[in-house]
Amino acid sequence: MTRSTDVTGPAGAAALPRTPRPAVSLGFWQDRPPGEALLTARAADRLGYDELWVGEMATYDAFALASAIGLRTERIGLTVGPLAVAVRDPMTIARGVASVADLTGRRVGVAVGTSSPLVVAEWHGRDRSRPATRLRESATVLRELLDGRKPSFDGETVHARGYHLRLDAPRSELTVAAFGPAAVGVAAALADRMVLNLITPASAAALVRRLRDAATVAGRETPRVAAWVCAAVNPTEAAVEQLRRAVVGYLAAPGYGEMFTEAGFGDVVEFARTRPHPRELLAAVPVELIQSVGLVGDEATVRDRLADYGRAGVDEVALVPASVEADPGGEKTLAALRPPVAEG
């Protein structure tokens, strides 16, 4: 098994190393108490990170948690999401963002995406058909609402008329979560930023090139690119196991499986697609696989890997720190990778 380390810049040629701007994303690790999200948030604020991503999984409501974090920290900016557009309509998203901004006095951005069939169809019982159309139409209406306008929109999947925010318009930065070409096209046409999750630097470079091409077609400046990347500096065995468990559900998924195959782990993907017991699949996941999509190792190794994402054209890396008994909330990892203190 070989690991792909060929990373080129968005134009396809080798690029000079650069370090993406660091941010933090909450991990919501299923093997840890949900309240550790607040430990991560307070550590990120204290250590000087300027942005915290507050996603939504199976525990806290994202807007409730973002408000709690804003009232328990000093200065860090918040980005809520990605939120599933098939689950939350543009009005509820815009009202939630405005609520957090008003209650906390913070800068609040928002990210949207299509989410997975599990979350949309099984958990929420919602229709996930025409996901790219719904994403585009939701982003169009959401932009108007966030800017304080009153949209009048009748699309194929989204309809909105007569509402504008009663709270001050947050004029939030809008981020679109993307992986496939249709979502990349939506990001290029409508977003301020595109975010990638669980991505190798090589795959990130390909998506950045696609984004730049699509933005040119749309007649726009290329949106910035962020990536959520799991991180563990000087990891304990428990941290490595936590990250290994986190990738199991992605190995057989369309798109992700092909990405891992390109990275040199085709045998693991092939085994995953035979639907083995999760314990058997976990046992087949090598540490090198999580290193291909994460920042795992000593500080020098992790910083070299951060430079790989920079060469790929990623502007910002949102660190998703492992949270284990020896490092609750991932504070040690965040401290090792903390942003430099601005002079003056």
Could you read off the pLDDT of 25-42 as tens digits, one per residue?
A: 999 998 999 999 999 999
Tell me what the mean pLDDT of segment 131-154 comes to.
97
Q: Decide: helix, strand or coil at residue 217.
A: helix
**Amino acid in the structure at residue 326:** A
Return d(Cα 95, Cα 99) in angstroms, integer. Answer: 6
CA distances (Å), 101 to each of 69, 104, 233, 323, 331, in order? Answer: 12, 5, 33, 28, 26
- Buried b / exposed e along 41-58 (16+ C-beta atoms within 10 A): bbbbbbbebbbbbbbbee
Report the range of poorest mean pLDDT among 14-28, 84-98, 274-288. Answer: 14-28
Strands 224-233 and 294-297 turn out to be parallel
| 294-318 residue pLDDT tens | 999 999 999 999 999 999 999 999 9
Please list, in sequence order, all residues whose beta carbon lies within 8 angstroms of the beta carbon of residue 255, skipping any fewer than 6 positions away. Answer: 179, 180
87 pLDDT more than 50: yes
Answer for the pair 172, 97: CB distance below 8 angstroms, yes or no: yes
Give the phi and the psi of residue 152 in degrees, each rounded to 5: -130, 100
What does the block give as tokens for 173? Answer: 């930065």
Nearest to 37 by CA among 237, 317, 328, 327: 328
Q: What pLDDT, on the 0 to 100 scale, is given for residue 116?
A: 78
Q: Decide: helix, strand or coil at residue 160.
A: strand
What does the block give as tokens for 196? Answer: 């990638």
pLDDT tier for residue 257 given thresholds of 50, 70 and 90 = very high
Strands 152-154 and 159-161 turn out to be antiparallel
pTM: 0.91
Q: What pLDDT, on the 0 to 100 scale, is given for residue 57?
A: 84
Nearest to 90 by CA among 46, 38, 134: 134
Tell me what the mean pLDDT of segment 154-178 comes to.
96
Please list, in sequence order, all residues whose beta carbon lies within 8 angstroms of the beta carbon of residue 141, skipping any fewer than 6 positions away. Answer: 90, 151, 153, 158, 160
